[in-house]
Chain A
Amino acid sequence: MLAYLIRRILLAVPILLGVVAVVVISLEIVPGDPVALMLGEFATPESIEATRADLGLDRPLLVRYVEYIANVFQGDLGTSIKDRRPVATIIGETLPATAQLAGVAILVALAVGLPLGVASAARPHGVVDNAVRVLSLAGLSMPVFWTGLVFIVIFSVELGWFPVAGRGSWRHYVLPSITLALPSIAILARMTRASLLEVLQEDYVRTARSKGVGSLRILYKHALRNALIPVITALGLQLGQMLGGAVLTETVFSWPGLGRLTVFAIFNRDYLLVQGVVLVLATIYVSVNLLVDISYGFLDPRVRYA
């Protein structure tokens, strides 16, 4: 078990190094000079050069990459070009807003998606199943930002129920978290249904049934636990979707999180900030998937760590 864990973690490191390399190389060819942009209309060529040197941007790509990696291992993500503050500090200030939004959205997705999936599996091709099928198809097909705008028009402009500008009380969470959760609700409902139906075909369930155990009881007591395993995999993938989807949701709802920060950083050509955000998001994503793999062992004793 421990050996397996260490092996998995060691495997994740080159992947993250690769992620940083992709970002560094991409940003190198981005048109638009971040320093000239930052200094604005009053800048002189001398002040631009001086600032570039000050930020170390005048050195070769490979040197910057190696140094960046070395610093990352010491917890230093560099300094934002625009804000002139440590990237780690800025991410630290911004991450909680995204974590809260994604956290609430995951809860919403579970709270809605699981029961819908169970209800669908209880009577395949029944009314509920068909309705859920249509809804989840819609949830997967509507662009997130558009759903958000539809919610804004209905619940804020017309009904005036929820605010849409940024973060504050619990009311501010309602629309963005539902918007962000919608595709995940669809996926979770589908996965739960498919997985439950498969488990229900297996021998031990049939045995229980032949012994006269009620079907609802079978569903909850015997089937659900085993059916949850693939659902948890899906949940891990959904988190990745949400971290990316947050870029759109946070834009629509003026949410002060990492997603919006990424977009601003890209528009401002704030290289180190973009690198830092992507590295942090990719690390979270890779770690969550690692956790998902490990959690198999607790849910399914058949899984062995080779």
Chain B
Amino acid sequence: MSAPTTDANAPTRGTWKRFRRNRLAVLALGVVLLTVFAAVFAPWIAPYDPAAQSLFDRRAAPGADYLLGADAFGRDILSRIIFGARITLLVSLTSVGIGVAVGGALGTIAGYFGGWIDTVVMRLMDVLLAFPYLLLAIIIVSALGPGLTNTIVAIGIWTVPAFARISRGSVVVLRERDFIGAARALGANDARVVGRHVVPNFVATLLVYGSLYLAYAILMESALSFLGLGVQPPTPTWAGMIAAGRDYITSAPHIALIPGIAIALVVVSFNLLGDGLRDALDVRSDG
């Protein structure tokens, strides 16, 4: 992920107008909202208890009783997908939240102060970026042990360097601008300058990248769950359902294949949403 040369505008009323013109992005927003709705109201929407087993109906094909079929325990796949949305959203939102908060803070500090602080922070980020995709998260999560919190922490740490670079890039550009110099000349202290003048100027950038990273975070959570390192059963997670369905790939492929559609759909939506936001907020990027 290369640092964007940003010239971002803070969100304004015109933003929504521009966003609305992008029909795909609006559709994506719809899917995201639907997913949020399903996650929040899961107990009322789901046709079955996601944990209720019915061994006689094990591996039932999609049909009238089970719209999307039943898994190896005879649990309703649709209900498990609906409940699984909770984990998907919880993990992606909180982990990207960590990335934005920690990475944003580190990048801002590095970019604003420069010098040795900049060097130390950014070299540290380089170390994290030197891990090929997935390996860093795998190592962190295996060190901390699988589970919800640790999955969030691992993915959060993985997203930190990207946000650190993004915010540092923005801050370095902004620091040289006149209005910051003016604020300083007027005697504002560092924290005040950063808080009042620097941060709001790259919020738009963070918003766009946040949305794209939600998509990456979901894929990362899926990968960890698939490898058995994520949130553990019987809590339904989409990728966990795929992993458990692998053994039945010849006899009942729907168990593994259907939850993947949910993942792809939500990831596509966050990607489109990010693209839409980028256009609407007029954030330039080379990613």
A residues bordering B, Cβ < 8 Å? 14-16, 18-19, 21-23, 26-27, 29-31, 137-138, 140-146, 149-150, 152-153, 157, 230, 233, 240-241, 243-245, 247-248, 251-252, 262-263, 266, 274, 278, 281-282, 285-286
B280 near A: Cβ within 8 Å? no
| Residue from A27, A141, A230, A244 within 8 A of B135 (CB atoms) | A244
CA distance A23 to B127 in the complex (A): 11
Given contacts A26-B140, A137-B272, A157-B249, contact A243 B132 (CB under 8 A): yes
Closest A residue to B256 by CB, please name it: A149
Assess whether B249 is in contact with A18, with CB atoms less than 8 Å apart.
no
In the complex, chain A residues whose CB is within 8 Å of the CB of B268: 137-138, 141
Assess whether B260 is in contact with A150, with CB atoms less than 8 Å apart.
yes
Residues of chain B from 125 to 151 with CB closer than 8 A to chain A in the complex: 126-128, 130-136, 138-140, 142-145
Given contacts A141-B215, A247-B227, contact A19 B145 (CB under 8 A): no
| Residue from B2, B215, B249 within 8 A of A149 (CB atoms) | B249
In the complex, chain B residues whose CB is within 8 Å of the CB of A143: 219, 222-223, 226, 239, 242, 260, 263-264, 267
**Best-buried of A18, A149, A150 by chain B (most CB within 10 Å):** A149
CB distance from B143 to the nearest CB of A (A): 4
Which 10 A-B pairs give the minimum distances between C-beta atoms?
A244-B133, A18-B127, A146-B260, A244-B134, A26-B143, A141-B267, A243-B132, A141-B268, A244-B132, A240-B132
CB distance from A18 to the nearest CB of B (A): 3
Assess whether A281 is in contact with B123, with CB atoms less than 8 Å apart.
no
In the complex, chain A residues whose CB is within 8 Å of the CB of B267: 140-143
In the complex, chain A residues whose CB is within 8 Å of the CB of B197: none
Assess whether A141 is in contact with B271, with CB atoms less than 8 Å apart.
yes
| Residue from B128, B132, B140 within 8 A of A285 (CB atoms) | B132
Assess whether B260 is in contact with A142, with CB atoms less than 8 Å apart.
yes
| Residue from B127, B219, B260 within 8 A of A22 (CB atoms) | B127
Assess whether B286 is in contact with A230, with CB atoms less than 8 Å apart.
yes
In the complex, chain B residues whose CB is within 8 Å of the CB of A144: 223
Apart from A153-B257, A278-B131: 4 A-B pairs, beta carbons within 8 A: A18-B126, A143-B222, A153-B249, A274-B139
CA distance A15 to B126 in the complex (A): 7
Assess whether A149 is in contact with B139, with CB atoms less than 8 Å apart.
no
| Count, A-B residue pairs, CB within 8 A | 137
In the complex, chain A residues whose CB is within 8 Å of the CB of B263: 142-143, 146
In the complex, chain A residues whose CB is within 8 Å of the CB of B256: 146, 149
CA distance A26 to B264 in the complex (A): 31
Given contacts A138-B268, A141-B267, A143-B223, contact A241 B257 (CB under 8 A): no
CB distance from A149 to the nearest CB of B (A): 5
In the complex, chain A residues whose CB is within 8 Å of the CB of B249: 149, 152-153, 157
Given contacts A149-B246, A266-B142, A278-B139, contact A243 B133 (CB under 8 A): yes
Assess whether A15 is in contact with B138, with CB atoms less than 8 Å apart.
no
In the complex, chain B residues whose CB is within 8 Å of the CB of A145: 222-223, 226, 239, 242
CB distance from B270 to the nearest CB of A (A): 9
| Residue from B128, B253, B272 within 8 A of A157 (CB atoms) | B253
Given contacts A15-B127, A18-B124, contact A30 B142 (CB under 8 A): yes
Assess whether B127 is in contact with A281, with CB atoms less than 8 Å apart.
no
**Best-buried of A14, A244, A248, A285 by chain B (most CB within 10 Å):** A244
B189 near A: Cβ within 8 Å? no
Closest A residue to B245 by CB, please name it: A149
Given contacts A143-B223, A143-B263, A230-B286, contact A30 B132 (CB under 8 A): no
List, sorted by A's number, 5 A–B pairs whose CB atoms are closer than 8 Å.
Answer: A137-B272, A142-B267, A247-B134, A263-B227, A282-B130
Assess whether A30 is in contact with B143, with CB atoms less than 8 Å apart.
yes
CA distance A137 to B131 in the complex (A): 25
CB distance from B134 to the nearest CB of A (A): 4
**Best-buried of B124, B139, B215 by chain A (most CB within 10 Å):** B139
In the complex, chain A residues whose CB is within 8 Å of the CB of B144: 29
In the complex, chain A residues whose CB is within 8 Å of the CB of B12: none
CA distance A1 to B253 in the complex (A): 56
CB distance from A162 to the nearest CB of B (A): 14
CA distance A146 to B138 in the complex (A): 18
In the complex, chain B residues whose CB is within 8 Å of the CB of A240: 132-133
CB distance from A246 to the nearest CB of B (A): 9
CA distance A158 to B184 in the complex (A): 69
Residues of chain B from 205 to 224 with CB closer than 8 A to chain A in the complex: 215, 219, 222-223
In the complex, chain B residues whose CB is within 8 Å of the CB of A262: 135, 138
CB distance from A167 to the nearest CB of B (A): 20
**Best-buried of A21, A26, A274 by chain B (most CB within 10 Å):** A26
In the complex, chain B residues whose CB is within 8 Å of the CB of A14: 123
CA distance A170 to B155 in the complex (A): 36
CA distance A140 to B145 in the complex (A): 28
CA distance A138 to B265 in the complex (A): 9
In the complex, chain B residues whose CB is within 8 Å of the CB of A274: 139
In the complex, chain A residues whose CB is within 8 Å of the CB of B226: 143, 145, 248, 251
CA distance A247 to B136 in the complex (A): 12
CA distance A278 to B143 in the complex (A): 14
In the complex, chain A residues whose CB is within 8 Å of the CB of B145: 31
